[in-house]
Each structure stands twice: as C-alpha cells, then as structure tokens.
Amino acid sequence: MDYEKLERVMRRLALEAGDKIMEIYNAPDFEVKTKSDASPVTEADEAADALTSAGLRAAFPDEALVTEEQAASHSQDVRTFLVVDPLDGTKEFVQRRGDFTVNIAYVLDGSPVRGVVYAPAKERLFYTDKGGNAVEEIGPFDKDTVGETRRLRVSRPDNSGLMVVASKSHRDQATDEYIAKYNVKDMRSAGSSLKFCLVATSEADFYPRLGRTMEWDTAAGHAVLVGAGGDVVRFDNLQPLRYGKAGFENPFFIAFAPGVEFKK
C-alpha cells in the first residue's frame, strides 16, 4: 500500500463526504428509512457511501472494500481491506445532535493501521498520517492542501480519578455497572467514533463498549487511537481487537490509554 497516497485520498474523500452530509443535515427535512436490522438509514448515509466507495475503488482498484451500506461487500472473507462507515452515528444525525462522523480505514492482516474520522458538524478532523502517527487537523479544511496539524498523544491515566467516555445513544445498565467499578473523575457522553478520538486526544482515558458494534463502526477510530499510543482490546480476554471476522461483528471491547488498570 502507498501510505502517502492513502492518507491523501482518505482525507479528501472524508471531507467531500462531510460536505454532502452537511448539505442534507442543514436541509429543512430529509427521509429516514429503517434497515433490516432495525437501524436507521438516511439519504446522507447513501450519498456519502456512493461518494467514498467510488473514490476508493478508483484509487485502489486492487484492494478489497467493505462498506456498511453495501450488503454485498459483507460476504467477503478478507484480512486486508478498506472499510467504510459513510455516516457513523445516524441516530445523532437524525436527532440533529452533531455527534456523527465519516469513517474510512485500512486494515492490514487483521489490524487497522490507517484511518480518518471526520466530524463535519463539529469541524473536527482526525487521521493517521503516512507514517501512522495520529494527528488532528485544524480547519478550515482545504480538499487538496493539508492545513495546520497537531500530533495526538494519549493521556497518562491517574487510576485514582479516571476520565471516561461512553456512548450517547447506546449506553446501558451493564456499561454503567462496569464504569462504576472504577474511580471516575469525570464522565462524558459522545456519539459515533468520536469516542476513540477523545481518548486519542487525551480528553478521556478509556472508553468501554458493552454492546454490539460492527468493524466499520470502529476501524477508523481504532487506527487513530493506536496512532496516538492507545489500544483497543476485547472485553472478555483483553486480547487485541482483530478485524476480518466472520460477519464483521465485534465483541465487547475497551479502548484505552496505557496505564488504565482494568477491573473484572
């Protein structure tokens, strides 16, 4: 993989998809449909998916592509692939809460090694550069010219008072009970893959997810977090979260800055 080209293409496609999403988000109304798994999908999901998929296929025709909105892509048996969630946080989008993102990632032999997470309503852009380092770019965002960036590093957690981030739309009693095992200084809620990025920027120390997610939900944020010195492990055995699993469904997991002392 040409990582310099990958950085450039993923960044540009995320920004272009964000523009398309915001056009629909700022319209007086938009259509919301229900998929077979009962999750919502909007014309913004579909438009962003068409744009990112076409761009990735044109730039990297020999790479496998898995995308949330194209069910045919879910039947692949792959370990190295591009993966897209064109609009992560559709519930946040529908409720006009702003916590939604465009996610594009590259998985190499089961590990997400490059990714971009763009939150257009919040004007925050996170990605891995060609060397795999996580950065946040400061807007305004030009499609062809990278602006000012800052290198991201995770926190040094203080286990006597941890900063926790949890899901805004999917938090449940099991998650609250698990978080209650820790000494928590502050807890905040966020939607979509922004939770990974808040750990990457040291705005939070860890993010536990005791709920269903798919690989396209997590790969880009996972890559950004790793590029900032963090990691993501399975909740059940604390082994690395891997990708290319059958059905592309994740187990429960914990995203964290090294130094967090896990509770059972």
Q: Could you state, in order of their start, the residue ranges of all structural domains in the chain? A: 3-151, 162-256
Decide: helix, strand or coil at residue 16: helix
Rounded CA-CA distance 64/61 in Å is 8
HSE-up (13 A, CA, CB side) for residue 153:
4
pLDDT confidence bin for 251, thresholds 50/70/90: very high
Q: At 42, which amino acid appears? A: T
Q: What is the percentage of the chain residues whose pLDDT exceeds 70?
A: 94
Please give the structure tokens belonging to residue 246: 């059958």
Average pLDDT, the chain: 92
Give me the mean pLDDT over the 149-178 stretch: 90
pLDDT of residue 30: 75
Residue 37: pLDDT over 70: no
Q: How confident is the model at residue 35 (pLDDT cuts 50, 70, 90)?
A: low
Let me know if domain 162-256 sits in CATH 3.40.190.80. yes
CA 145-97-8 angle, 5° bins: 20
Q: Predicted confidence band at 104 (pLDDT cuts at 50, 70, 90)?
A: very high
End-to-end CA, the chain:
39
What's the mean pLDDT in 4-10? Answer: 98
How does residue 229 score in pLDDT terms, banded at 50, 70 and 90? very high
Task: Give the model's pLDDT for residue 36.
Answer: 57
> Which of 172-176, 209-213, 232-236 reaches the highest mean pLDDT?
232-236
- Domain 3-151 is of which CATH architecture? 2-Layer Sandwich (3.30)
What is the model's pLDDT at position 12? Answer: 98
Pairing mode, strands 249-250 and 134-137? unpaired
Q: In the sheet that 162-167 helps form, which strands lie side by side, from edge to edge? A: 184-190, 162-167, 206-209, 253-256, 231-234
- Tokens at 118, concatenated: 């763009």
Q: Taking the CA atoms of the chain, what radius of gyration do you get in angstroms?
A: 17
Q: Cα dihedral angle (20, 26, 31, 32), rounded to 10 degrees?
A: 90
Beta bridge partners of 126: 117, 136
Cα–Cα distances in angstroms (integers) from residue 152 to residues 43, 146, 156, 201, 245, in the given order: 33, 16, 13, 5, 29
Confidence of residue 6 (pLDDT cuts 50, 70, 90): very high
CA distance 156 to 163: 11
Phi, psi (5° rounding) for residue 86?
Answer: -70, -25
Compute the average pLDDT of residues 165-181: 84
Q: Rounded to 5 degrees, what are φ and ψ at 205?
A: -95, -35
Q: How far is CA 80 from CA 53, 59, 66, 85, 223, in A?
A: 16, 16, 10, 17, 14
CA 222 to chain centre: 7
Q: In what order do the strands lie in the sheet with 111-119?
A: 65-67, 81-88, 101-108, 111-119, 124-128, 134-137, 149-151
pLDDT at 158 over 90: yes
Distance CA 2, CA 21 (A): 28
Q: What is the maximal distance between C-alpha atoms in the chain?
A: 50
